[in-house]
Amino acid sequence: MAAVETRLNPSLDQSGVFKSARRIVVKVGSSLVTNEGRGLDEEAIGQWSEQLAALVQQGLELIMVSSGAVAEGMKRLGWSERPKEINELQAAAAVGQMGLVQMYESKLSACGVGSAQVLLTHADLADRERYLNARSTLLTLLQLGVVPVINENDTVVNDEIKFGDNDTLGALVANLVEADVLVILTDQKGLYTADPRRDPSARFVDLARAGDPELETMAGGAGSGIGKGGMITKILAAKRAAGSGASTVIAWGREPQVLLRLCAGEAIGTCLVAGTPKNQARKRWMADHLQLRGSVRVDDGAVQKILGEGKSLLPIGMTAVEGEFSRGDVIAVRDGAGQEIARGLANYASSEARLLCRKSSNDFERLLGYVAESEMIHRDNLVLSRG
Ligand SMILES: Nc1ncnc2c1ncn2[C@@H]1O[C@H](COP(=O)(O)OP(=O)(O)O)[C@@H](O)[C@H]1O
Ligand SMILES: N[C@@H](CCC(=O)OP(=O)(O)O)C(=O)O
């Protein structure tokens, strides 16, 4: 089988995945979090929290994407069967989410690490402005050493616009913050060549390339009746995460010290390696998927900062603004001769950018009435057009 044989490919190596990983998204599924629907698994949440805290204290940035709100809400409401009505599912999620975040908060704070609840919808990530807002909130939390605990905002979404499963949400969060690795903790040791609940002869796959189409033929739906996605959504999540250069590891959530051991480079679970490195993935995304909405002209000092020193573009270096664009649009950065030197995501709309040309960040509040960011384009969102 190709997926197993890929281990023979010397370019695939699980130890390399965590070697330089700094920003990690961990996703845990409903069946693990709620002990197959029996109620929040305090011990397991405590153990993951201890590991998250230890990793934050080592200087890594960790984001938890946790399911379990519906399952916990059902338990709290005394419902033994998952309701079919969306409004009842939403009510259960709202009830369960309280217990879920309360438990993460108390476990993480007992380890000396802060936590924050972030609830996201598909619409939040599809809208450029909300996408940037979610991104900058999450990055700020990470800078503060706080662990964001994310779930879907089930109250405000219906079936058509739901992520539906948190594997997809985990991958989109990995894309959003450009994580190095997505770790998906589940109730199996990883991916098998077929659903091990149904096929006892299924073989374990330890290493493959994310996006290999053969993986999709191996993965089935959820086996527990508690989780929603099953293995197929994990395989598709790995493919999506690889789009921004993140590799994915699917591992058993009850494996002792699973997060610490993974981060120490131990080969646990199924590792799905991203084919494209992070910075190249971002470059390709900007080049392929987005239409230029406008541009800003910059002075020689700004050209030197951007090209020579790898810095962000600050409004003080901008001399003119061309075209009409909104916050979150991709714009070009041009030197005095009109040559494109870079492109990136604008933090300010064109009308605001015109007011900010040649201004220092001290003036932004007076000019705009608020301050979003001190950069026009942050260096993380900036791709050089040459080289
Ligand atoms: N090829 C496969 N390898 C491993 N598990 C699989 C496979 N195909 C389907 N599954 C099922 O996927 C389940 C995990 O998905 P799910 O129940 O959604 O968990 P979670 O709540 O962790 O997201 C497993 O328990 C297993 O029965
Ligand atoms: N937002 C939902 C998660 C959806 C879901 O079941 O996801 P998963 O268990 O990860 O397949 C909840 O918290 O119940």
Is 200 in a helix, a strand, or coil?
coil
Best mutation site among 182, 228, 235, 250 for ligand 2 pocket (most ligand atoms within 8 Å of CB):
228
Contact by Cβ (8 Å): 321, 358? no
Instruction: Give CA separation, 316 vs 136, 152, 263, 296, 330, in Å.
Output: 21, 39, 41, 12, 19
Place of tokens 């938890």: 64
pLDDT per residue as tens, the chain (387 positions): 444 444 534 456 776 899 889 999 999 999 899 998 899 999 999 999 999 999 999 999 999 999 999 999 999 999 999 998 999 999 999 999 999 999 999 999 999 999 999 999 988 888 878 888 899 899 999 999 999 999 999 999 887 778 778 999 999 999 999 999 999 999 999 999 999 999 999 999 999 999 999 999 998 766 666 666 789 999 999 999 999 999 999 999 999 999 999 999 999 999 999 988 887 777 776 666 567 889 999 999 999 999 999 999 999 999 999 999 998 888 999 999 999 999 998 999 999 999 999 999 999 999 999 887 899 999 888 888 865
Please give the Cα distance from 8 to 2 (Å, whole number).
Answer: 10
Q: Where are the beta strands (DSSP E) in 56-212?
A: 61-66, 115-120, 147-152, 181-186, 207-209
Superfamily of domain 290-384: PUA domain (2.30.130.10)
Residue nearest atom 24 in ligand 1 by C-alpha distance: 223
- Judge whether 27 is annotated as a binding position: yes
Rounded to an integer, what is the distance from CA 280 to the centroid of its chain? 17
- Judge whether 187 is annotated as a binding position: yes
Domain boundaries, the chain: 2-282, 290-384
Ligand 1 centroid – CA 252 distance (Å): 11
Ligand 1 centroid – CA 186 distance (Å): 7
| Nearest ligand, measured from the Cα of 231 | 1
Residue nearest atom 4 in ligand 1 by C-alpha distance: 191
Is 273 in a helix, a strand, or coil?
strand
> May I ask the CATH class of domain 2-282?
alpha beta
Please give the Cα distance from 23 to 155 (Å, whole number).
Answer: 29
- Judge whether 186 is annotated as a binding position: yes
Best mutation site among 186, 204, 272 for ligand 1 pocket (most ligand atoms within 8 Å of CB):
186
- Judge whether 154 is annotated as a binding position: yes
- Taking the CA of residue 30 as reference, the ligand 2 atom at the shortest distance is 9
Contact by Cβ (8 Å): 37, 74? yes
Please give the Cα distance from 69 to 101 (Å, whole number).
Answer: 9
| Nearest ligand, measured from the Cα of 270 | 1
Contact by Cβ (8 Å): 138, 186? no
The binding-site residues of ligand 1, defined as CB within 6 angstroms of any ligand atom, are 29-32, 186-188, 191-192, 194-197, 218-220, 222-224, 227-231
- Taking the CA of residue 100 as reference, the ligand 2 atom at the shortest distance is 13
Rounded to an integer, what is the distance from CA 235 to the centroid of its chain? 15
Predicted local confidence at residue 163, as pLDDT: 79
- Interface confidence: ipTM more than 0.85: yes
Residue nearest atom 16 in ligand 1 by C-alpha distance: 230
Q: What is the pTM of this model?
A: 0.84
Residue nearest atom 27 in ligand 1 by C-alpha distance: 223
End-to-end CA distance of the chain: 38
- Taking the CA of residue 198 as reference, the ligand 1 atom at the shortest distance is 27
Rounded to an integer, what is the distance from CA 211 to the centroid of its chain? 17
Ligand 1 centroid – CA 175 distance (Å): 23
- Taking the CA of residue 154 as reference, the ligand 2 atom at the shortest distance is 1
Which two tokens mark 158? 């219906």
The binding-site residues of ligand 2, defined as CB within 6 angstroms of any ligand atom, are 29-30, 67-71, 93, 151-152, 154, 165-167, 227-229
Ligand 2 centroid – CA 65 distance (Å): 10
Please give the Cα distance from 317 to 314 (Å, whole number).
Answer: 6
Instruction: Give CA separation, 227 vs 20, 26, 67, 311, in Å.
Output: 32, 16, 9, 44
Identify the DSSP state of 387. Answer: -
User: Partners of 118 in the beta sheet?
Assistant: 150
- Judge whether 67 is annotated as a binding position: yes
Predicted local confidence at residue 223, as pLDDT: 61
Please give the Cα distance from 208 to 227 (Å, whole number).
Answer: 24
Ligand 1 centroid – CA 151 distance (Å): 19
Ligand 2 centroid – CA 323 distance (Å): 42
Burial class, 330, CB count within 10 angstroms (exposed 0-12 / middle 13-18 / buried 19+): buried
Ligand 1 centroid – CA 195 distance (Å): 7
Taken in order 153, 156, 159, 162, is the CA torsion positive or negative? negative
Please give the Cα distance from 27 to 19 (Å, whole number).
Answer: 20
User: Partners of 120 in the beta sheet?
Assistant: 152
Contact by Cβ (8 Å): 63, 177? yes
